[in-house]
C-alpha cells in the first residue's frame, strides 16, 4: 500500500462539535493560536475533516443512486424507483448538510482569525485564507445545487443561528467571490497533495460558470487550465490500465487536479458500499454492495462494448437479483488491510477538456475543430488509443451541430466520470433528469427529487426557516 502519510492534527474545536449548531463548542483563543503557519495549517485540517469523514459519504451514495447508470440497494433501493426520497434518504441528507456546514464553519474561523497572525507573512496569510475560501466555495457549491437557497453563513454571521434561506443568486455571488480570491492567492502547486492550487480554483470556477450557463466564462477558465500545460491524460492500452488512475497504490497522476486523499490507515469509508465478500476486490471491513447495474440497463446497453472504460468499470456478480447483475470495478483495493487507500477524484483533467468543449460549443454557436479535438482526446484514451493522435474512433465535426454536440459531451461525461458524483448533477443542470429517467426506466420521475429536503437538524434550531413554508417542494 501507499506509504504516504498525512499529518492530521485534530483540534478540540473541530472534533468537539459534530452538530454545527452546538451551543457551547470548545474553542481555541485566536490571540494565542492563529499566529504561525503551522497553527493555521492545523486549523485548516478542520475544514477538510467533515467532508472527508463518514457523514459526507451520503453525498456520494445519494447522488450515485439517482442517475440512469446505477441502481441502489438497501436504503438506496427506493431512489431507483423515482417515487421520492425515503425517510432514511432524508436522514442521510441531513448528514451531508451537517458535514458541509461544519466544514463551512471551520473555514469561517480560519478566514476570520488568520489576518491577525503575528508570526506569518502577509503572503502566507493570503494563501491560507485562499485555501479556506476555496473549500467554503466548494461546500456552498454542493449545497446550492442540491438544496437551492440555503442559510448564508460567513465569518460575519457564523454565530447567528437564526438565518433565513438566502437566494440562489446570493449563494453564487459568495462562491464566485471566494473562488476569485482563491484563484489570485493560491500557489501554483498545491501546499500538500489533496489541497488546492490556483489551477484547482480555476477548474472549480469553470464548473460553476458551466452550471450558471455563463458559457464564455466557463470556456475561458477551462482554457486557462488546459493552456497551463500542467496536466495530461494518463494513457491506457487495456482495461486494467485504468488502475493507473484509480488504483489504491496510486499516489497521484498527471490528470489529478483535486482529489480527496486517503490512506490504508485512514481509509475511504465509501469503499464499503462497492463490493461483496468473495469478489476479492476489497477483502476487509463491511461489504454492502449498495450499487449495481444490469446488462439490460439502458445506459449500459448503449455504451460501445469496445470502450475500455466499459470493460473496466463493470463485472458480473449475482447478488441475488439475477445473473445479469453487475458490480463496479472502478474503485478496488484487493491488497488493503484495514481501510481503503483509493482516493476520491473530485476533478480530473478529462473533465476540464469536456467543460471547455461544452462551454465553447454554446458560446460559439456550434463546435469547432479545436472543441471536437478536446472530446476526441478523452474518447480516444477511453478506447486505448494515444489521446494526442487521430484514431479510428474519432468523432467527425461535420456530423454535429450545437445541440447534437452538447448531447455528445453529456454522453462522454457519463462514460468518463461514472461513479464520480457527476452524472446526476449533469442531468440536473442540463434539465434532462425527467426525460432521461423516462427514457431509460420508463418511469415518471417524482420532481420532488430534483431538490433535497431542508433537514430537521436545521429547522429545529433555526426559527428563521419555517419547516413547512420554507421547505423545498414535495417534502
Q: pLDDT tens digits for 213-250?
A: 999 999 999 999 999 999 999 999 999 999 999 999 99
Q: How far is CA 64 from CA 16, 20, 185, 292, 293, in A?
A: 30, 26, 34, 10, 12
Dihedral sign for Cα atoms in the order 434, 437, 441, 447: negative
Residue-level pLDDT at 22: 33
Residue-level pLDDT at 26: 39
At 373, list the grid cell: 479535438
Query: Is residue 311 situated within a structural domain?
Result: yes
Burial (CB count <10 Å: 0-12, 13-18, 19+), residue 237: exposed
Question: Which of the pair, 2 or 179, is modelled with greater confidence?
Answer: 179
User: 390: phi > 0 → left, psi -120 to 50 → alpha, else beta; which?
Assistant: beta
Query: Is residue 316 situated within a structural domain?
Result: yes
Burial (CB count <10 Å: 0-12, 13-18, 19+), residue 167: middle
The average pLDDT across 410-420 equals 98
Residue-level pLDDT at 282: 86
Residues 6+ apart with CB under 8 A from 334: 280, 281, 282, 283
Residue-level pLDDT at 269: 84
Residue-level pLDDT at 2: 43
Spell out the alpha helix ranges (H) of 66-121: 87-113
* pLDDT tens digits, one per residue of 226-235: 999 999 999 9
At 468, list the grid cell: 413547512
Q: Is the pLDDT at 252 greater than 70, yes or no?
A: yes
Asked if residues 128 and 110 have their Cβ atoms less than 8 Å apart, the reply is: yes
Q: Is the pLDDT at 410 greater than 50, yes or no?
A: yes
The average pLDDT across 410-425 equals 98
Residue-level pLDDT at 247: 95
Residue-level pLDDT at 4: 31
Query: Is residue 188 situated within a structural domain?
Result: no
Confidence of residue 19 (pLDDT cuts 50, 70, 90): very low
Residue 384 φ then ψ, to 5°:
90, 10
Query: Is residue 82 situated within a structural domain?
Result: no
Percent of the chain whose predicted confidence (pLDDT) is above 70: 93
3-class SS string, 393-420? CCCCHHHCCHHHHHHHHHHHHHHHCCCC
Looking at the structure of the chain, the number of domains it has is 1
Q: Is the pLDDT at 11 greater than 80, yes or no?
A: no
Cα dihedral 425, 79, 312, 388 in deg (nearest 10) = -10
Q: Is the pLDDT at 5 greater than 60, yes or no?
A: no
Residue-level pLDDT at 108: 97
Q: Is the pLDDT at 31 greater than 60, yes or no?
A: no
Q: Is the pLDDT at 272 greater than 90, yes or no?
A: no
Compute the half-sphere exposure of residue 222: CA atoms within 13 Å on the CB side of its CA: 28
Q: How far is CA 440 from CA 63, 132, 447, in A?
A: 17, 41, 16
Q: Is the pLDDT at 277 greater than 60, yes or no?
A: yes
Residue-level pLDDT at 6: 33
Confidence of residue 17 (pLDDT cuts 50, 70, 90): very low
Q: Is the pLDDT at 114 greater than 70, yes or no?
A: yes
Question: Which of the pair, 17 or 57, is modelled with greater confidence?
Answer: 57
Residue-level pLDDT at 32: 67
Place of cell 420532481: 447
Give the other-Cβ count within 10 Å of 217's Cβ: 18
Percent of the chain whose predicted confidence (pLDDT) is above 90: 85
The average pLDDT across 312-331 equals 95
Write out the E strands in 211-288: 256-260
The average pLDDT across 384-388 equals 98
Query: Is residue 276 situated within a structural domain?
Result: yes
Asked if residues 472 and 148 have their Cβ atoms less than 8 Å apart, the reply is: yes
Q: Is the pLDDT at 418 greater than 50, yes or no?
A: yes
Q: Any idea which of 3-7, 88-92, 213-217, 432-436 has the lowest mean pLDDT? A: 3-7
Query: Is residue 319 situated within a structural domain?
Result: yes
At 68, list the grid cell: 440512469
Average pLDDT value over all residues in the chain: 92
Residue 414 φ then ψ, to 5°:
-60, -40
SS3 467: coil
Q: Is the pLDDT at 126 greater than 70, yes or no?
A: yes
The average pLDDT across 373-387 equals 98
At 399, list the grid cell: 456530423
Structural domain range at position 319: 269-328
Q: In angstroms, how far is CA 35 from the centroid of its own chain?
A: 32
- Looking only at the bridges linking them, the beta strands covering 325-328 and 344-348 are unpaired
Question: Which of the pair, 12 or 116, is modelled with greater confidence?
Answer: 116
Query: Is residue 289 situated within a structural domain?
Result: yes
Residue 303 φ then ψ, to 5°:
-95, 125
Residue-level pLDDT at 3: 36
How far the first Cα of the chain sits from its last, in Å, is: 45
Query: Is residue 309 situated within a structural domain?
Result: yes
pTM for the model stands at 0.93
* pLDDT tens digits, one per residue of 447-463: 999 999 999 999 999 99
Question: Which of the pair, 2 or 93, is modelled with greater confidence?
Answer: 93
Amino acid at each position: 500500500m501507499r506509504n504516504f502519510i498525512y499529518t492530521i492534527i485534530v483540534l478540540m474545536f473541530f472534533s468537539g462539535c459534530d452538530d454545527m449548531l452546538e451551543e457551547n463548542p470548545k474553542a481555541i483563543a485566536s490571540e494565542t493560536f492563529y499566529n504561525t503557519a503551522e497553527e493555521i495549517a492545523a486549523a485548516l485540517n478542520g475544514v477538510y475533516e467533515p467532508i472527508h469523514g463518514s457523514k459526507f459519504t451520503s453525498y456520494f451514495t445519494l447522488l450515485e443512486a439517482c442517475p440512469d447508470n446505477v441502481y441502489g440497494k438497501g436504503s438506496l433501493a427506493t431512489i431507483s424507483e423515482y417515487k421520492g426520497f425515503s425517510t432514511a434518504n432524508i436522514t442521510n441528507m441531513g448528514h451531508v448538510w451537517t458535514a458541509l456546514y461544519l466544514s463551512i464553519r471551520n473555514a469561517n474561523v480560519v478566514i476570520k482569525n488568520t489576518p491577525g497572525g503575528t508570526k506569518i507573512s502577509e503572503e502566507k496569510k493570503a494563501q491560507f485564507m485562499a485555501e479556506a475560501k476555496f473549500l467554503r466555495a466548494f461546500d456552498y457549491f454542493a449545497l446550492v445545487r442540491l438544496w437551492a437557497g440555503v442559510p448564508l453563513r460567513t465569518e460575519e454571521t457564523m454565530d447567528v443561528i437564526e438565518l433565513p434561506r438566502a437566494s440562489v443568486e446570493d449563494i453564487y455571488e459568495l462562491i464566485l467571490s471566494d473562488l476569485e480570491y482563491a484563484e489570485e492567492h493560491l500557489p501554483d502547486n498545491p501546499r500538500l497533495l489533496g489541497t488546492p492550487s490556483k489551477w484547482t480554483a480555476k477548474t472549480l470556477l469553470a464548473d460553476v460558470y458551466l452550471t450558471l450557463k455563463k458559457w464564455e466564462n466557463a470556456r475561458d477558465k477551462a482554457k486557462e487550465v488546459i493552456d497551463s500545460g500542467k496536466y495530461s491524460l494518463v494513457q491506457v492500452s487495456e482495461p486494467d490500465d485504468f488502475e493507473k488512475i484509480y488504483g489504491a497504490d496510486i499516489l497521484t497522476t498527471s490528470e489529478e487536479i483535486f482529489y480527496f486523499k486517503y490512506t490504508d490507515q485512514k481509509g475511504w469509508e465509501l469503499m464499503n458500499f462497492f463490493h461483496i465478500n468473495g469478489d476479492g476486490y476489497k477483502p476487509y471491513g463491511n461489504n454492502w454492495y449498495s450499487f449495481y447495474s444490469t446488462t439490460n440497463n439502458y445506459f449500459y446497453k448503449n455504451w460501445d462494448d469496445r470502450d475500455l472504460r466499459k470493460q473496466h468499470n463493470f463485472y458480473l456478480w449475482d447478488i441475488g437479483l439475477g445473473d445479469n447483475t453487475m458490480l463496479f470495478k472502478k474503485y478496488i483495493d484487493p491488497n488493503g488491510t484495514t481501510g481503503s487507500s483509493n482516493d476520491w477524484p473530485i476533478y480530473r483533467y478529462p473533465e476540464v477538456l469536456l467543460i471547455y468543449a461544452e462551454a465553447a460549443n454554446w458560446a460559439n454557436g456550434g463546435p469547432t475543430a479545436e472543441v471536437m479535438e478536446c472530446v476526441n482526446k478523452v474518447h480516444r484514451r477511453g478506447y486505448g488509443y494515444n489521446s494526442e493522435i487521430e484514431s479510428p474512433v474519432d468523432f467527425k465535426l461535420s456530423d454535429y451541430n450545437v445541440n447534437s454536440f452538447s448531447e455528445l459531451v453529456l454522453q462522454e461525461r457519463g462514460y468518463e466520470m461514472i461513479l464520480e458524483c457527476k452524472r446526476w448533477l449533469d442531468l440536473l443542470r442540463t434539465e434532462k433528469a425527467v426525460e432521461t429517467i423516462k427514457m431509460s426506466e420508463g418511469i415518471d420521475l417524482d420532481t420532488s427529487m430534483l431538490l433535497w429536503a431542508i433537514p430537521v437538524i436545521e429547522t429545529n434550531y433555526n426559527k428563521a426557516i419555517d419547516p413547512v413554508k420554507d421547505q423545498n417542494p414535495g417534502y
